[in-house]
Chain A
């Protein structure tokens, strides 16, 4: 469990968390990027860019 940087609510995290993964804050809906796992640190995820995709 860690805190959403956007709204301050608690964010539940998986055990197999990876740096670079995106998690959603279920309270405010913000997309958060995992920038560290030990301990978990979240930042606001970058906005979608036009050339993203597969």
Chain B
């Protein structure tokens, strides 16, 4: 197949994918989105004859627009624009999980510091304030006191981009020092790992230790539901163990899997490419039938 890979930075994740695709004899068109000009009606030359495009944009804004252009040009793209739209924004992500009946941490969204402070006081201390757009655990605040809350809210309101004036306030989930990252394709888990840290943030990007995690039936069920809730695709579903159940705090749409690849025995890139081959075949079938 002829695969387009949208990127602006080739991380180890993309190298793993590129290597697997090339080993299987697929043609790969690396498309640096920084060099593209997306016309409303005419697709850039790099998009000609592609069977499928894989969005691996590092920047959320580029991912959102590039996937929308792919769909406008009639080029199959994974993940879909709809999935990117939901997953890239924590408010939309939480709303989708809630609407699907997936357990997710209780969350308030407020537009002023005064309203946000009321939410924080209602949740009690500690609680969590997160940016609606962002990743790798950056700009996350665990708020332990009213003094801290007032200071953080003032900083966000004064120094922040307008998106930081959308205050996403969340209950603090007492997790057992770890959370669980599941890599899944259309809800089917490829592999999972536990990310452990003494810090309340357990992102691999923050240096958390990783080890393989065996999913039980309930976790598998929730991963499927969470994937369906955001429109499916190649996703990183983040779960926390909460009491005797799980809670899903977010689903990631341009998921990084290098940490997972190092933690588990599964051939992660190979399994992702198996799925890409199926998606490309499905897209071709739809085209022929249409």
Interface residues of A (CB under 8 A from B): 16, 18-22, 33-34, 45, 49-54
Instruction: Report the minimal beta-carbon distance from A45 to chain B, rounded to whole angstroms.
Output: 8
A19 touching B256, Cβ below 8 Å = no
* Contact, CB under 8 Å: B133 / A51: yes
Is B281 interfacial (CB-CB < 8 Å)?
A: no
In contact, B252 and A21 (Cβ under 8 angstroms)? no
- Given A51-B134, A54-B256, A19 and B58 contact (CB-CB distance below 8 Å): no
The 6 closest A-B pairs by CB, nearest first: A53-B135, A20-B10, A51-B60, A21-B10, A54-B252, A18-B10
- Which chain B residue has the least Cβ–Cβ distance from A33? B9
Q: Kindly state the separation between the CA atoms of A10 and B275 in the bound complex, as whole angstroms.
A: 41
Q: Are B135 and A54 in contact, with the CB atoms below 8 A? A: yes
Shortest Cβ distance from residue B15 to the other chain A in the assembled complex, whole angstroms: 6
Contact with A along B1-24 (1 / 0, CB 8 A): 000000111110011001100000
Q: How far is the CA of A52 from the CA of B58 in the complex (A)?
A: 5
- A-chain residues with CB within 8 Å of residue B30 when the two chains form the complex: 18-20
CB distance from A9 to the nearest CB of B (A): 23
In the complex, what residues of B have CB within 8 A of residue A21's CB? 9-10, 15
C-alpha gap A21/B12 in the complex (Å)? 8
- Least CB distance, B54 to chain A, in whole angstroms: 14
Let me know if A54 and B254 touch, CB within 8 A. yes
